[in-house]
Amino acid sequence: MQDISGKRVAILATHGFEQSELEVPLNKLRQAGAEVHVISLEPGEIKGWDEKDWGRPVKVDKTLDEARPEDYDALVLPGGQINPDLLRVEKAALDFIKSFWNDSKVIGAVCHAPWLLVETGILKGRHVTSYHSIKTDVINAGGKWEDSQVVTDQGLVTSRNPGDLDAFCDKLAEEIREGRHQRRAA
């Protein structure tokens, strides 16, 4: 994995995130040298979902109203069914995500997290992947869906499921190291 020392990464999540899809990027990006903050709607802890039941809690570093997109180089959106479904109805969460895109920063989304990209309009015309059950949602939002381990389009890094996390994290680190991305109209 590439060295991304000095970079700052936000992970936006709430209760019901897929355990591995938050913890693996959190740990791997920290091991690569990045400062990583878990950002959520409320302070304290958020509880993950681990396969068929509630998982372990994860400490929230900042609340969404405390976090400023300009303080970060990249944003990671873990999946799970519950987490993105709760976040996609929160205007502040969608605005936070859009600001990363508008500032040409890296956004990583795995599994069901592309639902958040559907809500923000970011997917239109972009090559992406997601968990197979939301493929139609992604296509209906204008995304060019493909069944690949990791797909990157102008700093937007997407993966399908927890089995893709190593490739997802490697590609995220590479994109973060490269920095800002030129965005073309869809």
Interval 171-182: pLDDT, tens = 999 999 987 666
- CATH architecture classification, 8-178: 3-Layer(aba) Sandwich (3.40)
Strands 74-77 vs 35-40: parallel, antiparallel or unpaired: unpaired
Q: What kind and span of H or E run contains 38?
A: strand 35-40
pTM above 0.85, yes or no: yes
Q: N- to C-terminal Cα distance for the chain?
A: 30
Sketch the domain layout of the chain as residue ranges. 8-178
Residue 185 pLDDT > 60, yes or no? no
Which one from 15, 37, 112, 132 is the annotated catalytic residue? 112
Edge to edge, what strands does the sheet with 35-40 contain?
Answer: 62-63, 35-40, 8-12, 74-77, 106-110, 156-159, 150-153
Interval 72-127: pLDDT, tens = 999 999 999 999 999 999 999 999 999 999 999 999 999 999 999 999 999 999 99
Phi, psi of 174 (to 5 degrees): -60, -45
Query: CA-CA distance, 129 to 143, in Å (whole number)?
Result: 9
Q: Which amino acid is at 36?
A: V
Query: CA-CA distance, 110 to 113, in Å (whole number)?
Result: 5
Nearest partner of 34 among 93, 106, 101, 94, judged by Cα: 106
Does the annotation mark 112 as catalytic? Answer: yes
